[in-house]
Each structure stands twice: as structure tokens, then as C-alpha cells.
């Protein structure tokens, strides 16, 4: 996920993801951005932007990365 986000943003602003441990990661998205991810992209997470990343695979990581960037996180 981090590599995909770096690729799409040409930025290191998501490097904090590499420091997360376990099944969950928090993106730092606003409640409005969380709602937009859910409504426009079908990506679900709780209101503080914590999401389960254990279920991601090679096919879904690029989709998630694109949605994160499109939402302006």
C-alpha cells in the first residue's frame, strides 16, 4: 500500500503506514473523507479512519490507493 501511495502522490506523506503494526492502520482521514471513501468507492472503515488492512491483496491495494488519493487524504 505504501509503495502504491508513494507512486501516486510522489510524496512520502504516507510513510507513517510502514510504522504501523498488526491488522489495522489509521489513515488520518477526516470524517468527511471517510464518508466519501464509503459512498463513492465502497471502502469501509470506522469514523477515525482505522481500517483492517489484513484482507488486502495485490488486486485490491491499487484500488484502495487510488481511492485514498482521489479523496484527497
Rounded CA gap, 54 and 72, in Å?
A: 23
Domain 2-71 has CATH 3.90.1150.10: yes
pLDDT beyond 90 at 20: no
Q: Looking at residues 7-19, what average pLDDT do you find?
A: 93
Rounded CA gap, 28 and 31, in Å?
A: 9
pTM: 0.90
The pLDDT confidence band at residue 42, using thresholds 50, 70 and 90, is very high
The structural domains of the chain, with segments of one domain joined by +, span 2-71
Contact 36, 44 (CB under 8 A): no
Amino acid at each position: 500500500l505504501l509503495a502504491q501511495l508513494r507512486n501516486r502522490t510522489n510524496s512520502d506523506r504516507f510513510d507513517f503506514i510502514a510504522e504501523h503494526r498488526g491488522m489495522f492502520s489509521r489513515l488520518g482521514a477526516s470524517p468527511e473523507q471517510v464518508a466519501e471513501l464509503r459512498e463513492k468507492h465502497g471502502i469501509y472503515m470506522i469514523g477515525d479512519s482505522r481500517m483492517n488492512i489484513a484482507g488486502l491483496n495485490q488486486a485490491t491495494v491499487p484500488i484502495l490507493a487510488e481511492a485514498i488519493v482521489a479523496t484527497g487524504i
